[in-house]
Chains A and B, each alone.
Chain A
């Protein structure tokens, strides 16, 4: 009786997983007249290749530093090193990711795929902000909803409401709220500040776009984890709270010594689930920003889809998928290790 379900999982979950690993070592395309060839690690090298390079200022025949028009020391051109330079084969095709001044010259960190590097960084920022923010707010809401008050179920139902709405719908709705000229958020801020606050192009500005998407994502999903916290809260025995009250425990002491220890398993679950969901960030990006402005909202999954589907480059998309899987697996193993039951 388990046969059909096992067969479907084998074909549609386990096989694609191993295909992803396999394709990532080839040049497989979605549609191609030529059979795919084994290319070894070249996809991974194209995505993750990095190098560090230090350039010293140019010196003239007398050994003095050459200055440019602005009077700054003149550095050799980076492009001449990364474009087919036989002296530096390891930097071929790389571009500057970031750099800083060091000594008289500059140190450059070069990457084969600067956009993908940005996508990895953005995804980590998203996860590192969303996991504690959403988990913490959800716990706060759960504690608030766990009171015995008349009509509390109505509030619980309202807080949970955005969870049942598609993230695609939410993204399009919020792109109106965030709009620079017409958006409600700017209208509200401008009214509250009596018109002194400038109107911000929340999604069009590289310094605010990712933050705007983070805020909206938390708004949509926080009710989900509120309910999980709530179910954890309800497993804590009331006799513990009675004992605490008899001992005269303060609110904070009650939380610290009764509630929080009772929520240990729930906390691990919430953390792991939010992290896994956050690494999958895609729909918000696709609807709201398409990775822009200036790649400030590029994410790992958005890159995987853009290449695997958009450019029909299955092998690069697969390699990104494998990289994502390794990241998610390592992070959740680390989380489990750090939150393990201490014997």
Chain B
């Protein structure tokens, strides 16, 4: 068994790396094509699509498509909206879901187990099945603002933020993580008379770096990439996020250069963020599966 010759081993390595590279090409070529094409005029983009030039930054390279995209749609507004909605939801979600998970893990109260069971049961309700009634409900909800009470949440930031702050998956992730923290630590603090909030704030949160990163990454991806909900609740341009903004670009005569520029603009920051924090991204997906 152990007498594989040196040559044979070298050949097998070459084969392995060739397979790995071919698969990598399948996964990366559409994205490379998107970014490269965003730099070319539409006519050249279409001509280049017939050869390997499609993946090379050659010919008439410029940022013109990006300028044109900004002229076609209020791109800066869409980006601002997405960043605002995603940022606020992620931060609020981390705060409320970790606090809830803390109460579920360490504090004993009546109805605790039932409440946790119900929350975990919501994991089997796909969002698609509640979207339509939630649309009607949102159109009738009250809001207290500067001008007194108003009714109806459609066309606002809150309708894109508030329904997504608390969710079963995020609470589940925190509960799983908190269960593995040393219980003696919390008991000792209780004996010394620390309040529950102080324990949450001073002891549990500082130990929760990994799960905070996991929950933040998953929430960020879900929120930034949302599409079904915002197309229904943002008829007014003012509140539209980037994914709804895409609709400005798929008209009949598609200007592919501009489309590629817009796609790159809203995707490249996320890809860069991912490549920079690659280990944390992959670990966060993996952690949803470990205990399943």
Contacts and interface: CB of A to CB of B under 8 A. Distances in A.
A122 interface: no
A314 B134 contact: no
Interface in A101-147: 141, 144, 147
Contacts of A23: 132-133, 136
Given A14-B122, A159-B24, A324-B129, A30 B167 contact: no
A interface secondary structure, majority: helix
A262 to B, nearest CB: 13
A1 B99 contact: yes
A180 B129 CA distance: 35
A28 B136 contact: yes
Contacts of B197: 1
B115 A318 contact: no
B143 interface: no
A245 to B, nearest CB: 9
Contacts of A280: 126-128
B61 interface: no
Interface stretch (A74-82, A86-94, A201-209, A221-229): A221-229
Given A158-B24, A164-B274, A305 B232 contact: yes
A279 interface: yes
A287 interface: yes
Given A158-B28, A187-B49, A280-B127, A166 B267 contact: yes
A8 interface: yes
A260 interface: no
Interface stretch (A42-50, A53-61, A167-175, A251-259): A167-175
B292 A309 contact: no
Interface in A188-235: 191, 219, 223-224, 227-228, 230-232, 235
Nearest to A276: B126
A283 B228 contact: yes
B163 interface: yes
Contact of A182 (B49, B102, B224): B49
Nearest to A154: B24
B43 to A, nearest CB: 11
B292 A325 contact: no
Interface residues of B, number: 88
A237 interface: no
B286 A227 contact: yes
Interface in B237-263: 243, 246, 249-250, 256, 259-260, 263
Given A5-B99, A161-B274, A172-B246, A184 B54 contact: yes
Contacts of B79: none
Interface in A273-316: 276, 279-280, 282-283, 286-287, 301, 304-305, 308-309, 314
Nearest to A282: B228
Interface in B102-134: 102-104, 107, 115, 118-119, 122, 124-134
B221 A164 contact: yes
A1 B28 contact: no
Contacts of B122: 9, 13-14
B136 A231 contact: no
Contacts of B288: 228
A166 B49 contact: no
Given A161-B271, A164-B271, 14 more contacts: A16-B134, A17-B125, A20-B130, A28-B136, A144-B20, A144-B23, A155-B23, A158-B24, A160-B281, A161-B274, A169-B263, A231-B286, A248-B1, A305-B228
18 contacts: A6-B100, A6-B166, A8-B166, A12-B134, A20-B130, A30-B139, A152-B20, A160-B278, A164-B271, A164-B281, A165-B267, A169-B246, A177-B33, A187-B50, A248-B1, A305-B132, A321-B130, A325-B125
